[in-house]
């Protein structure tokens, strides 16, 4: 998978990790769970009958992977779903196609209900129409396979799928933007199958990356080998088999103070031939190092940037199939900046300018050069700079740019031809824009 991301065939992967605290005690699979002492003073009931349970009748310890399986915690579900919803708001809005992996069927029910509640509250507070169904359980018990087409194709409904195992394998949903781990995962094979639901590229929505929201340290399994324990032939025991033990009851515990804290943002990349999450800062450093290796100075970088074939070759040599600058621009919320400025800041410490600022700087700093040109040529180049302000390098180099009303009105291609070779004039203009 990591090689596919590196080569540009699969979507890049951003990882958000979180720490969970129950009554200020950090919970993770490898170190802690819920002890009987942790339940002191809590309301405990039987999940099936609703009858109260006294503290002495519960197990001495519930390991972390048993949370939301043998011990249900409504405050935990509420805290995690609220935190996830807030992150959706920060990264494009709540109506993103998302798969949440849950511990069991009941947990998937609770998560879908909690997500619907927080969505309804948000819509009411912000005067937004509710798009229904928003969150839905997608497990075998409710015929979840019937909902996959809605998750895949519905643009106005079926956004958040809470599941257990149904969406682990064999489901191709390119529109999925987020994979969420609310369950503990021990198998590297199962983990990669789950994450794989988000790796598909989706040209229809310009999807180049997806996010993994990890609340259970599942992403520690990136780079782990697929190991299956050997099993030998079973020895048959003499006599009738012992009766099975009575099923252990599942309990519901209320009264926990659950907090979710950020534990860092990471990007999945290749390190020594292995899929490895690295911090966003480290990822940017690796990108910068590769950029400077290809173009040692800012002047060399600029000279390659303004020539489309050379720019394409340069970008293609950068990590993740050349999509790393797009990823960094998205991560750093620099959508108003051209990729030139994103990379120039990373590799050479240039203070980045927004596209509009760069176009204004061109008109100001090169006013003397522009005033020395024929009036229609000068007007055309200013109009082209305005197109750069709107759409960046790609907009400036689009062949249709000379068909836009603003450029045509200024004089257009005919004005440039009257002066000389348009290609040479445009090349000098681009050099001045990016040097401004």
pLDDT digit string (tens) for 319-330? 887 889 999 998
Which band of pLDDT confidence, cut at 50, 70 and 90, is reported for residue 301?
very high
pLDDT for the residue numbered 231? 64
pLDDT for the residue numbered 228? 65
pLDDT digit string (tens) for 159-183? 999 999 887 777 888 999 999 999 9
Query: What is the C-alpha to C-alpha distance for residues 78 and 74, in angstroms, rounded to an integer?
Result: 6
pLDDT for the residue numbered 52? 96
Q: Where are the domains of the chain?
A: 2-225+249-269, 278-348, 355-435
Which band of pLDDT confidence, cut at 50, 70 and 90, is reported for residue 93?
very high
pLDDT for the residue numbered 232? 66
Mean pLDDT for all residues in the chain: 92
Regarding beta strands 12-22 and 25-27, do their DSSP bridges make them parallel or antiparallel, or are they unpaired?
antiparallel
Average pLDDT value for residue range 299-303: 97
The structure's pTM equals: 0.88
31 pLDDT higher than 90: no
pLDDT for the residue numbered 230? 65
266 pLDDT higher than 90: yes
pLDDT digit string (tens) for 177-188? 999 999 999 999
402 pLDDT higher than 70: yes
pLDDT for the residue numbered 124? 97
Average pLDDT value for residue range 41-46: 96
pLDDT for the residue numbered 3? 80
pLDDT for the residue numbered 229? 66
Q: Are 169 and 193 in contact (CB under 8 A)?
A: yes
Give the Cβ contact number of residue 271 at 10 Å.
14
Which band of pLDDT confidence, cut at 50, 70 and 90, is reported for residue 383?
very high
Give the CATH number of domain 2-225+249-269: 3.40.50.300
What's the per-residue H, E or C state across 323-381? CHHHHHHHHCCCCCECHHHHHHHHHHCCCCCEHHHHHHHHHHHCHHHHHCCCHHHHHHH
Place of tokens 């074939």: 309
Lowest mean pLDDT among 26-40, 180-194, 405-419: 26-40
């Amino acid at each position: 998978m990591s090689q596919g991301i590196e080569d540009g065939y699969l979507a890049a992967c951003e990882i958000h990790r979180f720490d969970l605290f129950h009554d200020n005690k950090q919970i993770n699979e490898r170190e802690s769970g819920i002890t009987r002492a942790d339940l002191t003073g809590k309301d405990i009931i039987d999940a099936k009958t609703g009858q109260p349970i006294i503290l002495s009748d519960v197990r001495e310890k519930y390991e972390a992977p048993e949370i939301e399986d043998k011990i249900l915690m409504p405050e935990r579900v509420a805290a995690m779903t609220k935190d996830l919803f807030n992150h959706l708001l920060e990264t494009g809005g709540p109506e993103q196609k998302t798969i949440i992996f849950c511990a069991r069927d009941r947990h998937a029910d609770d998560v879908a209900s909690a997500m619907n509640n927080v969505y309804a509250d948000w819509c009411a507070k912000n005067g937004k129409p509710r798009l229904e169904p928003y969150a839905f359980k997608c497990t075998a018990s409710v015929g979840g396979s019937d909902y996959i087409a809605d998750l895949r194709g519905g643009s106005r409904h079926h956004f958040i799928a809470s599941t257990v195992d149904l969406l682990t394998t064999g489901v191709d949903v390119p529109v999925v933007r987020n994979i969420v781990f609310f369950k503990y995962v021990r198998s590297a094979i199962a983990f990669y199958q789950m994450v794989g639901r988000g790796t598909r590229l989706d040209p229809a929505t310009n999807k180049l990356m997806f996010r993994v929201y990890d609340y259970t340290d599942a992403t520690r399994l990136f780079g782990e080998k697929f190991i299956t324990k050997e099993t030998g032939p079973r020895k048959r025991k003499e006599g009738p088999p012992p009766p099975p033990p009575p099923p252990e009851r599942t309990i519901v515990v209320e009264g926990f103070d659950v907090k979710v804290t950020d534990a860092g943002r990471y990007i999945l990349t290749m390190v020594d031939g292995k899929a490895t999450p690295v911090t966003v800062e480290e990822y940017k450093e690796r990108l910068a190092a590769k950029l400077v290796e290809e173009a040692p100075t800012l002047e060399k970088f600029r000279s390659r940037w303004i020539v489309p074939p050379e720019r394409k070759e340069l970008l293609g040599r950068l990590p993740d199939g050349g999509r790393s600058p797009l990823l960094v621009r998205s991560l750093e919320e620099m959508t108003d900046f051209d990729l030139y400025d994103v990379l120039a800041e990373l590799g050479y410490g240039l203070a980045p300018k927004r596209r509009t600022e760069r176009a204004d700087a061109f008109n100001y700093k090169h006013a003397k050069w522009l005033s020395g040109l024929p009036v229609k040529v000068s007007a055309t180049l200013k109009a082209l700079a305005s197109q750069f302000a709107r759409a960046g390098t790609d907009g400036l180099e689009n062949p249709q740019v000379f068909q836009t009303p603003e450029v045509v009105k200024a004089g257009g291609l005919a004005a440039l031809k009257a002066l000389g070779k348009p290609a040479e004039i445009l090349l000098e203009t681009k050099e001045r824009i990016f040097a401004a």
